[in-house]
Structure 1
Amino acid sequence: MTEFDYIFLAVLGASGILGFMRGFLKEAFSLVAYIAAGYAAAAWGPHALPWFSRMVDNIYISIALSYAVVFIAVLLIIGLINKTLSSVISQIGLGSADSILGLFFGLVRGLIIVLVVVILLGYTDMPQAPWWQNAKFSGVVIEIVHYLKTFVPSDMVKYLPY
């Protein structure tokens, strides 16, 4: 095994353990929270801009603040809901099933993280390095990337590595 394999297993393991500890519902709700916060920032950030532009002279800082404050506010509100929901779930007794599903969620998240990093590193010379070429898992990960490319629009595929 090479450095690639150890990093691959560490990312998968850490994400899986985190998912197990937090549980599926908390992990899934966190994902929904980030997506909702991003959507809210895109939708409501421009509406907050006039308020921030009165307080800050630099327009770029005002824009950044308007989007960031909306994003963080929505994330905090959903986080409070998530915390309440988690305590209700623990009282219901879904603990072990929730943890096992959280483990699988974490493993999938870890694989997605690895895939994104491998795709980004595909634009560099790293895939030609011996520690990458001789890795046990690099071929499997690249095969998954090839499979996922079949879902990418054909005009974008030419820009992807591998």
Structure 2
Amino acid sequence: MSWLDLVILGVIVLSALISLIRGFVKESISLLTWIAAGILAFRYFSPMAALLEPYLADPTIRSMAAFAVLFISTLIIGAIINFIMSQLVSKTGLSGTDKALGVVFGGARGVLIVTMIVLLASLTPMPEAQWWQDSAMVGFFQELAKWVKGIIPADAVDSFSF
């Protein structure tokens, strides 16, 4: 087992431990909140920027402000929902189940994080390095990265080395 394998295991275990502490409900609502914040901000920053026109003259600053307002507002609303749902889970006595499911969620998230890092590493000469080749686990994550690459739009895929 190489040092890279230990780092990979560390990322997955750390993600699982964080989710054990936070629980499935908090983790899943947080993830959904971040996704929603990104989608809403990208989708609606132009109409929001138009509303800010009387207050901000520079179109770049106006667009950035609109994006930030939408993104941060969505995160705040998500945090409120997360707090309410977490209180509900603790009051119903499902916290043990919530934490157990959190470990599964966290482990899956750790695998996804490592897969994305391996995918991004394929944009560099890293996969040719000896320490990369010596890893017992990186091959599995390269296969996952190939699968992820298959669902990425074709014009974005040309830069990958595998």
TM-score normalised by L of structure 1: 0.89
The count of aligned residue pairs is 162
Percent identity at matched positions?
33
What's the C-alpha RMSD, in Å, of the aligned pairs?
A: 2.0
AA aligned opposite 1:120? L
Matched with 1:15 is 15
**Structure 2 unmatched ranges of 5 or more:** none
1:159 shift after superposition: 4.4
1:161 shift after superposition: 3.0
C-alpha contact 2:123 2:159 (8 A) present in aligned 1: no
* C-alpha distance in structure 2 between counterparts of 1:132 and 1:20, whole Å: 30
* C-alpha distance in structure 2 between counterparts of 1:154 and 1:57, whole Å: 38
Distance 1:54 1:153, change over 3 A: closer
C-alpha contact 1:119 1:161 (8 A) present in aligned 2: no
Deviation string 1:18-76 (CA, Å, 9 cap, x unpaired) is: 11111111111111111222222133322221333333332111101101111110110
More off after superposition, 65-74 vs 148-157:
148-157
Matched with 2:106 is 106
* C-alpha distance in structure 2 between counterparts of 1:23 and 1:107, whole Å: 12
Ranges of 4+ aligned residues in structure 1 off by more than 2 Å: 50-58, 143-161
C-alpha contact 1:46 1:66 (8 A) present in aligned 2: yes
AA aligned opposite 1:47? P
**Structure 1 unmatched ranges of 5 or more:** none
More off after superposition, 8-17 vs 140-149:
140-149
Distance 1:63 1:156, change over 3 A: closer
* C-alpha distance in structure 2 between counterparts of 1:144 and 1:68, whole Å: 33
* C-alpha distance in structure 1 between counterparts of 2:28 and 2:19, whole Å: 10
C-alpha contact 1:22 1:99 (8 A) present in aligned 2: yes
Deviation string 1:82-140 (CA, Å, 9 cap, x unpaired) is: 10110110010111111111111111111111111111111111111111111121112
Matched with 2:84 is 84
1:160 shift after superposition: 3.4
* C-alpha distance in structure 2 between counterparts of 1:70 and 1:2, whole Å: 44
C-alpha contact 2:116 2:145 (8 A) present in aligned 1: no
More off after superposition, 137-146 vs 68-77:
137-146
